[in-house]
């Protein structure tokens, strides 16, 4: 290993440590520069280290937290018995894995949602959402490259976002109401897919996936935060 490679490995480790430490501070301070400084102190990082790790400040720190959550979700998905599961069950379990892992840090997640919900952060929020749903489909074995590539991810983005919003306000035991809501949303999507298949079999045309993706971004940007 070269010194340069060692620096990269150290930097990756620092990013993980700071993102983990930030969860405790984001509960009280939100995703702010104050949280960045507190997380850096907990991780024993210098100002130069912080700049190297997160040149974009708190925006990069929050994005890395989301990336870590995505990685953890993928590990959980790959541990499932995917060969013996239906697509519906795979998607349901993937979304549950993502949210269940976040449950101990629900308030930090809420603060992150509020942070990304501001209009000027819409593009960043949309990219993070797309990354999550894309990783879900890839982890469960999706290899589509045609029209279905976009429609699958667009529909799942709608399911994931609506379920996340429900979960943030859910006070039921072990989030039982959220999982019931998720089942209903997945059921709705399955009906849409069946309707689309019937339409295409009759020579019709399906809505533009690019326009649907654009609407997701518009909805994210217009979303009002739950509370400051």
Is pTM beyond 0.85 here? Answer: no
Q: Higher pLDDT residue, 227 or 151?
A: 151
Indicate the DSSP class of residue 79: T
Domain 65-222 has CATH 1.10.260: no
**168 versus 2: which is more confidently predicted?**
168
Q: Where is pLDDT greater, at 139 or 224?
A: 139
For the chain, give every domain's residue range: 1-55, 65-222
In eight-state DSSP terms, residue 179 is: H
Nearest Cα neighbor of 98 from 129, 127, 63, 124 is: 129
pLDDT for the residue numbered 198 = 58
How many angstroms separate the CA atoms of 146 and 139, rounded? 18
Q: State the pLDDT confidence band at 189, using cuts at 50, 70 and 90.
A: confident
C-alpha to C-alpha distance for 2 and 108, rounded to whole angstroms: 37
What is the C-alpha separation between 72 and 78, in angstroms, rounded? 10
The pLDDT of residue 224: 45
Residues 6+ positions from 171 with CB-CB distance below 8 Å: none
Instruction: Say which residue, 29 or 214, is predicted with more confidence.
Output: 29
- pLDDT tens per residue, range 69-93: 999 999 999 999 999 999 999 999 9
DSSP-derived secondary structure letter, 32: S
Distance from chain centroid for Cα 70: 6
Taking 80 as the threshold, does the pLDDT of residue 64 lie above it? Answer: yes
């Amino acid at each position: 290993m070269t010194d340069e490679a060692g620096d990269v490995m150290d930097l990756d480790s620092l990013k993980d440590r700071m993102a983990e430490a930030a969860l405790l501070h984001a509960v009280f301070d939100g995703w702010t520069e104050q949280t960045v400084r507190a997380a850096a102190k907990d991780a024993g990082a210098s100002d130069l280290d912080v700049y190297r790790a997160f040149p974009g400040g708190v925006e990069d720190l929050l994005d890395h937290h989301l990336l870590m959550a995505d990685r953890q979700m993928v590990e959980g998905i790959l541990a499932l018995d995917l060969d013996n599961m239906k697509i519906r069950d795979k998607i349901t379990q993937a979304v549950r894995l993502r949210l269940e892992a976040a449950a101990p840090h629900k308030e930090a997640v809420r603060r992150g949602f509020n942070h990304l919900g501001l209009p000027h952060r819409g593009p960043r929020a949309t990219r993070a959402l797309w990354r999550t749903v894309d990783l879900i489909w890839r982890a469960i074995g999706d290899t589509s490259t045609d029209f279905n590539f976009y429609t699958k991810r667009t529909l799942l983005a709608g399911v994931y976002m609506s379920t996340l919003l429900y979960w943030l306000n859910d006070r039921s035991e072990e989030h039982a109401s959220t999982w019931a809501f998720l089942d209903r949303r997945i059921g709705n999507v399955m009906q849409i897919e069946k309707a689309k298949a019937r339409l295409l079999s009759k020579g019709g045309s399906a809505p533009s996936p690019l326009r649907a993706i654009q609407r997701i971004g518009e909805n994210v940007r217009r979303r009002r935060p739950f509370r400051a």
